[in-house]
Amino acid sequence: MREWSLKVTLRHLGRPGCSDAVDTMTPVTAPPLIDSDVLERVLTASLAKGGEMAEVFAEDRQISSAILDDRRIEELSSGRERGAGIRVVIGETTGFAHTADLTESGLLAAAEAAAAVARRGGGRTETVGLPARQSAPEHDFVLPSEVEKSAKLELLSRADDAARSAGAAITQVQVGYGDSRRRVLIASSEGMHSEDDQIRTRFNVSCVATGDTGMQTGFESIARTEGFEVFGRFAVEEIARIAATRALGKLDARPAPSGELPVVLAGGSGGILFHEACGHGLEADHIVKDASVYVGQVGEQVASALVTLVDDGTVGGEWGNYAVDDEGKAAARNVLIENGVLTDYLWDWLRARKEGRPSSGNGRRQSYQHLPMVRMTNTFLLAGKENPDELVAQTPKGVYVAKLGGGQVNTATGDFVFGTSEAYLIEDGKITSPLRDANLIGNGPEVLRRIDAVADDFAMMPGTCGKDGQSVPVGCGQATLRIGGITIGGTAA
Amino acid sequence: MSDLVALAERIVAKAKAGEEIEAYVARGHDIEVRAYDGEVESLSSATTGGIGVRVLVANGSEGARLGFAWAGSLDDEVVESAVDEARDNATFATPDPDVAFATPDGVPATELDLWDQSVADTATDEKVAIALELERRVRAADPRIRQVSSADYGDERVEVALASTTGIRSFTQRTAAFLSVSAIAGEGSDSHTGTGFSVARGFAGLDLDRAGVDAVERSTRMLGATKVPSDRLTVVFDRRVVSTLLSIISSALSGEAVVKGRSFFAGRMGEKVATGSFTLVDDPTDPRAFAAAAHDAEGLACRRTVLIDSGTLAGFFYDTVSARRAGTSSTGSAVRGGYSGTPGAGCRALVLQPGRHDQQAILAVVGEGLYVQSVTGVHSGVNPVSGDFSVGVEGLMVRDGGLAEPVREVTVASSLQRMLQSVLHVGVDIEWLPGIAAGQTLAIGDMQLSGS
């Protein structure tokens, strides 16, 4: 619920849109969010009218964030949200209701609302019994709640100082810090009974640089599924310096070209290319509805033989990680494209059930107030063998993209865009003039076939992925690579 | 109603000496039905509620410190801990003389009836039936409709109470209902998508025909679309796209962006920033606007603000803090993203002063160019600080004053500054759309199309 309905706005605007970031485990002794006997009674009640599957998803989320803007610590915010979503499935129909009331009576009321769809299903009296709870894995992260607020705020001031000292033309700096702890518990009539404890930490810097040609912006972030200890490995001054340098560099930028040119994407520049060019199109909810260009393509060559694409929610500390998905299924490493051949799609429980196969552990939801759907975790292209510098040297004319912003795709047509936030011309095999920001546009299967070189310098980047009104953290990764030709949406003729 | 106001007042009463407290309390009921392939794919219903508490602690001559906390619950114990947490957070903020809560400014709130009881009174079965009917009609409308990936009905009832130790008391309630459908048209290996929707205050105001016809027309007319060669040309933007464009332009008209040096409009008050036919107003007191409101998110009366007057930069919009920083007063333009967000300056009901022509007449006058039906990559290719503008588009060429062959996989680019100076025609065809801006056809000259 919002002050006015963003849901409506997002819904009609439609397609998955993903952007730069920024915006996991518990001691075994922590009590579960809901006791087993209560869960069994709620699940039994959920099925009393004839549903085929019932599930309780409980969540307790604590969030804190801080913003430094215009040299002031403007806002320190703390929030807490807890509740449960109950889903009852009968045939092809899902009933769903959620409540912030985790007492047995609150849960039973939600169960009754969710089960309303099953009223024509006929009665059913069996009792649901749950197996022993699969506890969240133990971890040694520094919990956000164990860190003094002053220690979090000190990071903001350090980053502000570093950004402003990067150049006199830096005229404004905004620094954001955020952490969250999300405990979830999933129990279903199909014997699922697991929990997870997800700790996330993010830090981002946005700079404005002002020069004769107007203003330019630079952004950089880190976002990890880890605790406060990440700041022992990532220096906030370095994040600030990168953001500031990015804004300063564009003050001399010339308009991006228009028309088709070869494009070299730097390692770790985004990987959002694959997230948009094929990641969304491989989500089984689009596949089962015949709303993707990749329908019926398993076993087919859908990309250059240099492309091996993986979705993996278990990569140490990455932003898209979790131990179990929001349906209780363990995260896994799923190979989607191997040497250019499509090997599989991404699955959640509902779509996998339809095809009589197991979920791939990709059922995710923004919160207990949402139904799960198929989502990516960390999606990345495996590194190749070439030297990244030589790859540029072998490109007579083109565009070098050092950093990407967000992107968007229409899965049914395969057409997608992604934006640059730091790019340069390549002339005679050398990186030359900086370019103003622009979107690039292409068609997924076509662009994947035009990848003609992949280097050996792999890196990941965090992002926030939006789909059907729900946002979840994801990772994207790739080595330096070249696309033989793609349309660049600049203003230069 | 009264229970939310009473809760807000109870929170405010917890203020200690030297402290100001503001409480935002919200509750919503919503339902959503998705139809697919003649069946109900999902039916969701819920009641949600939460509070957002801001605490200001006086800090002598240096100003005050602000802290915020929120919770997704209306339970008393949760409320208590949110107040304590906000108070604790305040001790860490930088003291700031401009940080303050709104105080009543004497502007009377417009009486608006934004509540349609039919949202609550209509039976769930009827809501399910309209979603199923929408799907059925779109599937049956044209043999080239290959798939309807979703057909949704949704509605919500939202109540918000605000109170503060600085004298603010407001209560607002609104309803909204929507229909939305996403169609895929196909011929051979060619597929294209089109969405249609209808929004209204209540169930009865929804236009089933319109939603269906839009989805069918927008998907089928794109069949056979190709990439065209790069060109510099006039672009006619569809109403829905213009609503998005106005929303982006407004972020550069935010007093907060201006005072913090993040707007290309900074320092240009009174200058000619657009062509003379361009007059942009934010008027949340117009009840036809989707986000119309009597009170802003700090409890002040919403009011009409002229932002660009016949091409001349005439005003910025402010919430309380940004107004104080700029040495002016709030324009009643505080908005929030719900109970978990703090207020910031934002528009609710942007609209252009209408020109003389509808879309068809504008196409006829333009003669040759590109009509843009939808855009992609707005968040990755439009920068309201630098003004750089580059978006992916789908649409139809304009030839001999009418719509001609469909176009896909191309971009159009310019800068927001240049686009405002290149407005050729503003449509008379105002359509109130979901979001913060009305839609009207808009023709802009001298844009770069990038294609093959």
- Backbone torsions φ then ψ of B195, nearest 5 degrees: -115, 150
User: Is there a contact between B72 and A91 if contact means CB atoms under 8 Å apart?
Assistant: no
Q: Which of A7, A12, A96 to probe by mutation at the B interface, max B CB count within 10 Å?
A: A12
**CA B121 from centroid of its chain's CA atoms:** 27
Partners of residue A250 in chain B, C-beta under 8 Å = 386
CA nearest to B84 within chain A? A78
In terms of phi and psi (left: phi > 0; alpha: psi -120 to 50; beta: otherwise), the region of A12 is: alpha
- Alpha carbon separation from B217 to B153, B221, B224, B432 (Å, rounded): 20, 6, 14, 20
CA nearest to B338 within chain A? A2
Q: Is residue B154 less than 8 Å (CB to CB) from chain A?
A: yes
CA nearest to B292 within chain A? A4
C-beta of residue A320 within 8 angstroms of C-beta of residue A473? yes
Q: Is residue B201 less than 8 Å (CB to CB) from chain A?
A: no
CA nearest to A171 within chain B? B261
DSSP state of B108: P
CA distance A287 to A308: 20
Residue (of B402, B383, B346) closest to A246 by Cα position:
B383
CA distance A19 to A248: 22
Partners of residue B262 in chain A, C-beta under 8 Å = 172, 208, 215
- Backbone torsions φ then ψ of A133, nearest 5 degrees: -70, 135
Sketch out chain A's domains with CATH numbers. Answer: 32-252 (3.30.2290.10), 258-489 (no CATH)
CA distance B401 to B425: 14
Partners of residue B144 in chain A, C-beta under 8 Å = none
C-beta of residue B210 within 8 angstroms of C-beta of residue B133? no
- Write the DSSP string, B275-307: -TT--EEE-TT-TTSTT--SB-TTSPBP--EEE
Partners of residue B26 in chain A, C-beta under 8 Å = 1, 3
What pLDDT, on a 0 to 100 scale, did the predictor assign at position A138?
A: 84
Q: Which of B99, B390, B408, B447 to probe by mutation at the A interface, max A CB count within 10 Å?
A: B390
Q: How far does the CA of residue A207 sit from the closest CA of chain B (Å)?
A: 10
Q: How far does the CA of residue B118 sit from the closest CA of chain A (Å)?
A: 18
CA nearest to A102 within chain B? B73
B154-175 pLDDT tens trace: 999 999 999 999 999 999 999 9
- Backbone torsions φ then ψ of A6, nearest 5 degrees: -65, -30
Pick from B184, B380, B388: CB nearest A412: B184
User: Is there a contact between A93 and B66 if contact means CB atoms under 8 Å apart?
Assistant: no
CA distance A135 to B383: 45
User: Is there a contact between B392 and A415 if contact means CB atoms under 8 Å apart?
Assistant: yes
- Backbone torsions φ then ψ of A92, nearest 5 degrees: -95, 10
Averaged confidence pLDDT in chain A = 91
- Backbone torsions φ then ψ of B198, nearest 5 degrees: -145, 135
Q: Is residue B226 less than 8 Å (CB to CB) from chain A?
A: no
User: Is there a contact between B43 and A117 if contact means CB atoms under 8 Å apart?
Assistant: yes
User: Is there a contact between B68 and A77 if contact means CB atoms under 8 Å apart?
Assistant: yes
C-beta of residue A52 within 8 angstroms of C-beta of residue A94? no
CA distance B368 to B73: 56
User: Is there a contact between B158 and A405 if contact means CB atoms under 8 Å apart?
Assistant: no
User: Within 10 A of B123 (CB to CB), how many other CB atoms are there?
Assistant: 9
User: Is there a contact between B149 and A210 if contact means CB atoms under 8 Å apart?
Assistant: no
Q: How many helices (H) and strands (E) does chain A have?
A: 10, 22
User: Is there a contact between A19 and B297 if contact means CB atoms under 8 Å apart?
Assistant: no
- Backbone torsions φ then ψ of A274, nearest 5 degrees: -75, -35
What pLDDT, on a 0 to 100 scale, did the predictor assign at position A480?
A: 96
Partners of residue B388 in chain A, C-beta under 8 Å = 436-438
Tokens for B310?
A: 């016949």
Partners of residue B385 in chain A, C-beta under 8 Å = 208, 215-217
What pLDDT, on a 0 to 100 scale, did the predictor assign at position A304?
A: 96
Q: Which of A7, A439, A447 to probe by mutation at the B interface, max B CB count within 10 Å?
A: A439
How do the domains of chain B map onto residue ranges? Answer: 2-220, 231-450
Size of interface A-B (CB pairs under 8 A): 315
Low-confidence ranges of chain B (pLDDT < 70): 1
Pick from A12, A100, A417: CB nearest B377: A417
Query: Any alpha helices (H) in B105-238, and if so which ranges?
Result: 118-121, 124-141, 208-220
What pLDDT, on a 0 to 100 scale, did the predictor assign at position A201?
A: 97
What pLDDT, on a 0 to 100 scale, did the predictor assign at position A213?
A: 87
Q: Which of A6, A8, A90, A447 to probe by mutation at the B interface, max B CB count within 10 Å?
A: A8
User: Is there a contact between A437 and B230 if contact means CB atoms under 8 Å apart?
Assistant: no
DSSP state of A39: H
- Write the DSSP string, A128-139: P-----BPPPP-
CA nearest to A492 within chain B? B448
Pick from B30, B152, B377: CB nearest A11: B152
CA nearest to B44 within chain A? A96
CA distance B10 to A172: 39
Partners of residue B182 in chain A, C-beta under 8 Å = 14
Partners of residue A77 in chain B, C-beta under 8 Å = 68-70, 89, 342
Tokens for A380?
A: 């990345």
Q: What is the dihedral of CA B406, B411, B415, B418, to 10 degrees?
A: -30
User: Is there a contact between B70 and A78 if contact means CB atoms under 8 Å apart?
Assistant: yes
Pick from A92, A172, A289: CB nearest B260: A172
What pLDDT, on a 0 to 100 scale, did the predictor assign at position A29?
A: 52
CA-CA-CA-CA torsion sign (B260, B263, B264, B270): negative
Residue (of A452, A459, A460, A461) closest to A481 by Cα position:
A452
Pick from B264, B413, B434: CB nearest A490: B413
Tokens for B315?
A: 């005003």
Chain B from 18 to 77: CB within 8 A of any A CB: 26-28, 30, 36-37, 39-50, 66-73
Q: Point out which residues pair with A330 in neighbouring strands.
A: A324
Pick from A1, A437, A487: CB nearest B451: A487
- Which residues, at least 6 apart from A134, have a Cβ–Cβ distance to it below 8 Å? A193, A194, A195, A324, A328
A325-354 pLDDT tens trace: 999 999 999 999 999 999 999 999 999 999
CA distance B405 to B444: 20
What pLDDT, on a 0 to 100 scale, did the predictor assign at position A19?
A: 53
Q: How far does the CA of residue B360 sit from the closest CA of chain A (Å)?
A: 24
- Write the DSSP string, B177-212: EEEEEEEEEEETTEEEEEEEEEEESSGGG--HHHHH
What pLDDT, on a 0 to 100 scale, did the predictor assign at position A128?
A: 86
Q: Is residue B353 less than 8 Å (CB to CB) from chain A?
A: no
Chain B from 318 to 347: CB within 8 A of any A CB: 335-338, 340, 342
CATH homologous superfamily of B2-220: PmbA/TldD superfamily (3.30.2290.10)
Partners of residue B127 in chain A, C-beta under 8 Å = none
- Backbone torsions φ then ψ of B240, nearest 5 degrees: -60, -40
Q: Point out which residues pair with A441 in neighbouring strands.
A: A417, A487
Pick from A117, A291, A415: CB nearest B184: A291
CA distance A187 to A37: 11
Partners of residue B146 in chain A, C-beta under 8 Å = 290
Q: Which of A4, A87, A89 to probe by mutation at the B interface, max B CB count within 10 Å?
A: A4
Q: How far does the CA of residue B413 sit from the closest CA of chain A (Å)?
A: 6
Over chain A (493 residues), the average pLDDT of each successive run of 10 is: 34 44 43 94 93 95 95 92 95 93 95 83 70 87 91 96 97 97 96 96 97 94 96 96 97 95 91 87 94 95 96 94 97 97 97 95 97 96 95 96 91 92 96 96 94 94 92 95 96 88
Q: How far does the CA of residue A234 sit from the closest CA of chain B (Å)?
A: 24
Partners of residue A94 in chain B, C-beta under 8 Å = 41-43
